[in-house]
């Protein structure tokens, strides 16, 4: 920043911070000290004893209620499990009855023909009526020994209607069909808690499945196929859902691997079947609970942080003529502290009311002292605060120890556009522009922590989106001199955006050509010297200098006027800038002559670039027609700026005198004795 601006901004800020007394006084009421430490000194012993007794009573009540809910949950699990098994047993008997009906055995004995087709329609009609009446079967199928569906009835629970399947499927590769081959003629196989599949793909959304399979023997006593009954498992588990809705407790069915089978969150289910859900297991989601289940033989209670559970085994015990693919499951009831607290809320209210009465008596004793102390401390804090608050000449903001805003002044609103209700309780980071580096922010925080004071520039984003540059001063306030952390922060700042903009304009004007926008001769020479010094330090970092002169430029000025000449120079710089690389550097040396520095580029590479520039000028600047001559030279060791300039100028002169509109490369001298800079 120029000296003038540093002086003017500093003077302004000093003027601002000399007037601290009244600007933030309206906000001092929000900084009244907390009176609870004083009150605690009067009745701390009685209050602590009362609180300890209250807490003990609450904890005892919570533990008793948690155990009561867990015991009730286990009893409910046993009842629901028994009801589920009773329904399965009933449906198994129904399946056996369907498989042994005369009409099905007779159908199985018939060969393909009219009579068999007639009987098939009769069976379909009968099964439609039965499934609509029972509502427990989703599908009833007769599958031949090859695995092909012959008869299939589908029941839609939502429509409460059954229909004949329009398309029969091959089920010969399904596990339940393969297992059916190993059943005796009088046996029934149960496949439970599987996923529904259609056309060899899982039905989506995923549907939980259970099915009975039993052989069908024809009138001659020969096995001719299988009766497969898909159960309406959602109907069978309706009591589970009813229990959840009535009690608010989550009841889950788990596999012995800890994966969910039935839960209130279907997207977590069947991790033991679907690879993409394998990680949704209780063993991974709650290892502590899963460890308790496995170590207590799937039966017991668990209490953790805001999670309690009761669990018991769900074991299928079939008779001798029933084969089950999976016997063991786990019933899990979970509930959190909120359920416990809701159950004991009335008892807790009684305890709280008694405690409140006791505290009210103790509180009344200290009201008079607290009122006097509050008044004295508020006056003292207000006086100290005013020593650090900016007056109406600057925007000011006040935060607490957590850097949450607790007060602003009117100048802040005028500058950034935010009203108090829009910022109170929020952090100043909401105003940050994002242009400040993380290192500078960290340095600011470190200085505040170490010195309690910081002063410097910060950029803010106003409510309108405008970016403002401010000169800011932040002071940490300690109400207690022995405190290690500040209680409040006071920040005051003024807008120096106009000064910064003018400073930038002056900086740009000092290094650029006012007509063309290219860098001026002084800036070009600085860059030239930097490249030269860099090449001395790093010998392999070569560079090339090119001098470009517009041909017959004086004739253009004489024929078309100086305004046209100026336009030609501006257009020339624009076209060249489009061709140059990001690392190249162009400056106006004087008049119609320009210099171009090409870092890390030898003469051969520079020649290619400059020829591209020459062709661009020749092809695009046609009214009036403009060409340029170029002389370039590659930097050589032990030579100075003057040597390199002289060589490039020689090459440029040669291009001019041999026809113009060409690029000449100078073969640079290398002997030290040839240098003109010794």
Q: Which residues are catalytic?
A: 592
DSSP annotation of 27: G
- Note the Cα 389 to chain centre separation in Å: 39
- Other CB atoms within a 10 A radius of the CB of residue 204 amount to 9
- Other CB atoms within a 10 A radius of the CB of residue 226 amount to 23
> Given the DSSP bridges, would you call strands 201-202 and 161-164 parallel, antiparallel or unpaired?
unpaired
624 Cβ neighbours under 8 A, 6+ residues apart: 556, 559, 560, 564, 568
Measured CA to CA, the distance from residue 236 to residue 238 in angstroms comes to: 6
Q: Which residues pair with 408 in a beta bridge?
A: 397
Q: Which residues pair with 137 in a beta bridge?
A: 231
Measured CA to CA, the distance from residue 582 to residue 557 in angstroms comes to: 32
Q: Is 117 helix (H, G, I), strand (E, B) or coil?
A: helix
CB–CB of 594/524 below 8 Å? no
Helix (H) or strand (E) holding 437: none
- List the one residue out of 196, 177, 91 whose CA is nearest residue 137: 91
CA dihedral 131, 136, 138, 143 (to 10 degrees): -70
Alpha-helical segments (H) within 488-621: 497-509, 521-537, 553-560, 562-579, 603-620
Measured CA to CA, the distance from residue 25 to residue 67 in angstroms comes to: 57
Strand order across the beta sheet in which 328-335 lies: 260-262, 250-254, 328-335, 307-315, 300-304
Q: Where are the beta strands (DSSP E) in 336-466?
A: 395-400, 405-408, 453-461
Give me 481's structure tokens.
């001199």
Alpha-helical segments (H) within 248-297: 282-285, 287-295
The rounded radius of gyration (Å) of the Cα atoms in the chain is: 45
Q: What is the DSSP string of 540-568?
A: T--EEEEEEEETTHHHHHHHH-HHHHHHH
Cα angle 341, 347, 348; round to 5 = 60
Total residue count of the chain as it appears in this document? 678
CB–CB of 273/195 below 8 Å? yes
- Other CB atoms within a 10 A radius of the CB of residue 647 amount to 24
- List the one residue out of 465, 461, 446 whose CA is nearest residue 495: 461
- Other CB atoms within a 10 A radius of the CB of residue 143 amount to 25
Q: Is 360 helix (H, G, I), strand (E, B) or coil?
A: helix
CB–CB of 546/629 below 8 Å? no
CB–CB of 279/290 below 8 Å? no
Measured CA to CA, the distance from residue 154 to residue 141 in angstroms comes to: 9
Cα angle 470, 472, 475; round to 5 = 165
């Amino acid at each position: 920043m120029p000296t003038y601006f540093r002086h003017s901004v500093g003077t302004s800020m000093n003027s601002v911070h000399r007037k601290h007394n009244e600007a933030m006084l309206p906000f001092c009421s929000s900084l009244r000290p907390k009176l609870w430490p004083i009150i605690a000194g009067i009745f701390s012993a009685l209050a602590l004893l009362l609180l300890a007794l209250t807490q003990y009573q609450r904890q005892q009540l919570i533990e008793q209620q948690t155990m009561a809910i867990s015991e009730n949950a286990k009893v409910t699990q046993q009842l629901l499990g028994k009801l589920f098994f009773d329904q399965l047993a009933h449906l198994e008997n129904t399946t056996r009855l369907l498989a042994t009906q005369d009409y099905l055995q007779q159908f199985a004995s018939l060969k393909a023909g009219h009579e068999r087709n007639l009987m098939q329609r009769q069976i379909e009609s009968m099964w439609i009526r039965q499934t609509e009446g029972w509502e427990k079967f989703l599908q009833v199928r007769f599958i031949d020994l090859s695995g092909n569906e012959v008869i299939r009835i589908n029941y839609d629970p939502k429509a409460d209607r059954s229909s004949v399947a329009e398309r029969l499927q091959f089920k010969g590769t399904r596990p339940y069909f393969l297992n059916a081959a190993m059943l005796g003629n009088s046996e029934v196989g149960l496949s439970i808690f599987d996923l529904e599949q259609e056309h060899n793909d899982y039905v989506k959304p995923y549907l939980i499945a259970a099915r009975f399979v039993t052989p069908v023997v024809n009138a001659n006593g020969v096995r001719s196929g299988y009766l497969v009954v898909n159960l309406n498992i959602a109907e069978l588990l309706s009591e589970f859902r009813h229990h959840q809705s009535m009690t608010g407790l989550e009841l889950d069915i788990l596999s012995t691997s800890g994966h969910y089978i039935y839960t209130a969150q279907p997207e977590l289910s069947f991790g033991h079947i679907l690879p993409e859900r394998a990680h949704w297991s209780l063993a991974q989601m709650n290892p502590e609970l899963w460890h308790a289940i496995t170590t207590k033989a799937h039966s017991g209670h668990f209490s953790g942080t805001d999670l309690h559970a009761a669990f018991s085994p769900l074991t299928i015990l079939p008779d001798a003529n029933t084969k089950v693919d999976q016997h063991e499951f786990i019933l899990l009831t979970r509930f959190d502290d909120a359920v416990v607290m809701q159950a004991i809320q009335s008892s807790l209210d009684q305890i709280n009311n008694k405690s409140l009465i006791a505290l009210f008596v103790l509180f009344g004793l200290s009201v008079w002292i607290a009122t006097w102390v509050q008044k004295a401390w508020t006056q003292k804090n207000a006086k100290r605060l005013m020593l650090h608050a900016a007056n109406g000449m600057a925007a000011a903001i006040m935060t607490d120890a957590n850097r949450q805003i607790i007060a602003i002044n009117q100048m802040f609103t005028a500058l950034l556009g935010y009203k108090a209700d829009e910022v109170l309780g929020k952090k100043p980071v909401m105003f940050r522009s994002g242009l400040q580096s993380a290192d500078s922010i960290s340095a600011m925080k470190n200085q505040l922590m170490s010195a309690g004071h910081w002063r410097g520039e910060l950029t803010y984003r106003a409510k309108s989106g405008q970016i403002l540059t401010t000169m800011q001063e932040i002071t940490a306030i300690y109400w207690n001199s022995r405190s290690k952390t500040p209680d409040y922060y006071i920040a005051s700042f003024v807008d120096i955006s106009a000064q910064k903009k003018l400073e930038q304009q002056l900086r740009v004007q000092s290094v650029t050509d006012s007509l063309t926008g290219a860098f001026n001769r002084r800036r070009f020479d600085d860059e030239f010297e930097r490249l030269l010094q860099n090449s001395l330090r790093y010998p392999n970092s070569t560079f090339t200098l090119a001098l470009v002169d517009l041909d017959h430029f004086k004739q253009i000025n004489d024929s078309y006027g100086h305004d046209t000449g100026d336009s030609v120079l501006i257009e020339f710089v624009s076209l060249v800038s489009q061709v140059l690389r990001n690392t190249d550097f162009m400056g106006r040396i004087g008049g119609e002559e320009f210099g171009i520095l090409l870092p890390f580029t030898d003469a051969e590479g520079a020649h290619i670039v400059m020829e591209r520039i020459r062709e661009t000028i020749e092809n695009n600047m046609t009214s009036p027609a403009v060409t340029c001559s170029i002389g370039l030279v590659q930097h050589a060791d032990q030579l100075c700026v003057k040597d390199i300039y002289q060589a490039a100028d020689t090459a440029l002169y040669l291009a001019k005198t041999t026809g113009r509109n060409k690029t000449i490369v100078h073969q640079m001298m290398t002997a030290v004795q040839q240098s003109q800079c010794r």
